[in-house]
Amino acid sequence: MKLEDIRREYTQGGLQREMLAVDPIVQFEAWLKQAVEAKFSNDPTAMVVATVDETGQPSQRIVLLKHLDENGFVFFTNTGSRKAQELKTNNKISLHFPWHAIERQVIVYGEAKPLPTSAVAKYFLSRPKESQLAAWASQQSRPVSSRQALMQTFNSMKSKFTKGDIPLPDFWGGYCVEPTKIEFWQGGEHRLHDRFMYVKQADGNWTVDRLNP
């Protein structure tokens, strides 16, 4: 297999400045809606979350976007996880939405701010019961001896919380990523892609520049 021979053209359309909203959150919502409506686009809310540890080593993982408003992009996680521990020492973060099926990408740069317990609890109680139990069962990012051991812990939690609501674990939290820059990428023919970068200014307004592909 020759990796250098794997290629395709991007032909689904260009992106011009006049097509962009003034507010990048509004622009993102429009693109997300189109990604959701594109039935061939799997997991449109999936985003690659990149953090950096105390040595400068980046790490990435895929997480689902769970809320979006004028404040930023929200996701939830175990606070003992690698990403949560890295955010304790460096809250700078990047999110990447790879919408390959519609030849688009969005990259968000910003800072992750912990959510209040009330917001975390509201989301946790909205999850399916099995997902709530999985949160209790998993010591996220830590070694586990086997799949069987993980399932034993899951079944133990299932037996423990047979009645009533499953309580919020004290090791479960969430973050709002407050953006400072957002890039919108539209695939173009001959690798002449359209890229626009929004940058937040001190007064809260956004500037936007076209970038070379």
pLDDT in tens, 107-162: 999 999 999 999 999 999 999 999 999 999 998 888 889 999 999 999 999 999 98
Q: pLDDT for 160-184, tens place per residue?
A: 998 888 999 999 999 999 999 999 9
In this predicted structure, what is the pLDDT of residue 8?
86
In this predicted structure, what is the pLDDT of residue 10?
87
Q: Is 154 annotated as a binding residue?
A: no
Question: Contact 121/168 with Cβ under 8 angstroms?
Answer: yes
Of the candidates 17, 142, 191, 210, the residue annotated as catalytic is 191
Q: Is 123 annotated as a binding residue?
A: yes
Per cent of the chain over pLDDT 90 is 86
Question: Contact 108/179 with Cβ under 8 angstroms?
Answer: yes
Instruction: Inform me whether the pLDDT recorded for 84 exceeds 80.
Output: yes
Measured between alpha carbons, how far is 63 from 75 in angstroms, rounded to an integer? 7
Measured between alpha carbons, how far is 194 from 140 in angstroms, rounded to an integer? 38
Instruction: Inform me whether the pLDDT recorded for 53 exceeds 90.
Output: yes
In this predicted structure, what is the pLDDT of residue 134?
94
Closest CA to 190 of 19, 18, 7: 7
Question: Contact 195/210 with Cβ under 8 angstroms?
Answer: yes
Question: Contact 65/45 with Cβ under 8 angstroms?
Answer: yes
Angle subtended at Cα 119 by Cα 114 and Cα 121, rounded to the nearest 5 degrees: 110
Read off the pLDDT band of 12 (50, 70, 90).
confident
Whether this prediction's pTM lies above 0.85 is answered by: yes
* Tokens read off for 44: 């449109």
Q: Is 17 annotated as a binding residue?
A: no
Question: Contact 110/177 with Cβ under 8 angstroms?
Answer: yes
Options 3.40.640.10, 3.40.50.2020, 3.40.630.30, 2.30.110.10; CATH for 8-124+169-210 is 2.30.110.10
Q: In the annotation, is 142 catalytic?
A: no
Lowest mean pLDDT among 8-12, 64-68, 85-89, 100-104: 8-12
Which regions of 115-204 does DSSP assign to beta strands (E)? Answer: 172-186, 194-200
Q: Is 59 annotated as a binding residue?
A: no
Backbone dihedral region for residue 40 (phi beyond 0: left; psi -120 to 50: alpha; all else: beta): alpha
Q: Which residues on neighbouring strands pair with residue 99, listed in sequence order?
A: 104
Q: What is the DSSP letter of 102?
A: G
Strands 92-99, 104-114: parallel, antiparallel or unpaired by DSSP? Answer: antiparallel
Long-range contacts of 203-209, Cβ-Cβ distance < 8 Å, separation of 24 or more: 206/22, 206/23, 206/24, 208/17, 208/20, 208/24
Question: Contact 95/107 with Cβ under 8 angstroms?
Answer: yes
Read off the pLDDT band of 42 (50, 70, 90).
confident
Q: Is 41 annotated as a binding residue?
A: no
